[in-house]
C-alpha cells in the first residue's frame, strides 16, 4: 500500500544513577504506517510512513539483575552507544533513506523530536553532506 515500516533498538551505556556500575539504556525507533478513516469512501486508509524515536529507557543493575527505572527516562548524558555489529545501518535508516533521500531523521516526516544520534548515523549524515555524486 505504499507504506514502509521498520523497527530498531539502540543500546547505550552509562552510569546513569552514579553508583559506580554501568547501566543500559534502550532507545526504540520506528518507521510506522499511520491509518485514518476516509468517510467519503467509508474505508480505512494509510497515509504513509512516519518516523518516531522513543525517549531512552534505563535499566539499572541492582541486586544481581537489571531493573527498569523510570526515574531516569529522557536523560541522555555521558553515554557510549554500542556500535552496530556487521551492519552499516539499521532497517529504519535504510527505509528512511529510501523514502526521504537523507540519513538525517530531522529531515524525515516525524512524530515527536529526535534527540539521539548514534555514532554510525552521525557518520552517515557527515558522509552524505560531504560526498558529491555529480561527475
Taking residues 93-103, report their average pLDDT: 93
Residues 6+ apart with CB under 8 A from 91: 6, 7, 8
Domain boundaries, the chain: 6-130
pLDDT band at 107 (very low <50, low <70, confident <90, very high): very high
Whole-prediction pTM: 0.84
Looking at residue 93, its pLDDT comes to 96
Query: Can you spell out the DSSP letters for 19-56?
Result: SSS-EEEEEEEEEEEEEEEETTTTEEEEEEEEEEEPPP
Cβ-contact 38, 45 below 8 angstroms: yes
Looking at residue 129, its pLDDT comes to 86
Query: Which residue from 84, 85, 128, 105 is spatially nearest to 31, judged by alpha carbons?
Result: 105
Looking at residue 88, its pLDDT comes to 92
Helix, strand, or coil (residue 101): coil
Q: What are the pLDDT digits (tens) for 35-76?
A: 778 888 888 777 778 999 999 999 998 888 999 999 999 899
Looking at residue 21, its pLDDT comes to 92
Taking residues 98-119, report their average pLDDT: 93
Cβ-contact 25, 82 below 8 angstroms: no
Return d(Cα 116, Cα 46) in angstroms, integer.
28
Looking at residue 135, its pLDDT comes to 44
pLDDT band at 11 (very low <50, low <70, confident <90, very high): very high
What rounded mean pLDDT belongs to the chain? 90
Amino acid at each position: 500500500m505504499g507504506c514502509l515500516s521498520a523497527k530498531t533498538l539502540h543500546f547505550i551505556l552509562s552510569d546513569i544513577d552514579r553508583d559506580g556500575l554501568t547501566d543500559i539504556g534502550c532507545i526504540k525507533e520506528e518507521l510506522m504506517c499511520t491509518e485514518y478513516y476516509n468517510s467519503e469512501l467509508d474505508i480505512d486508509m494509510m497515509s504513509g510512513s512516519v518516523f518516531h524515536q522513543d525517549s531512552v529507557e534505563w535499566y539499572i543493575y541492582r541486586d544481581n539483575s537489571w531493573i527498569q527505572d523510570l526515574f531516569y527516562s529522557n536523560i541522555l548524558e555521558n553515554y557510549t552507544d554500542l556500535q552496530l555489529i556487521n551492519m552499516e545501518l539499521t532497517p529504519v535508516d535504510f527505509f528512511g533513506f529510501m523514502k526521504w533521500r537523507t540519513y538525517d531523521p530531522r529531515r524525515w516526516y516525524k512524530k515527536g523530536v529526535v534527540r539521539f544520534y548514534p555514532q554510525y548515523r552521525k557518520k552517515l549524515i557527515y558522509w552524505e553532506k560531504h560526498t558529491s555524486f555529480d561527475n
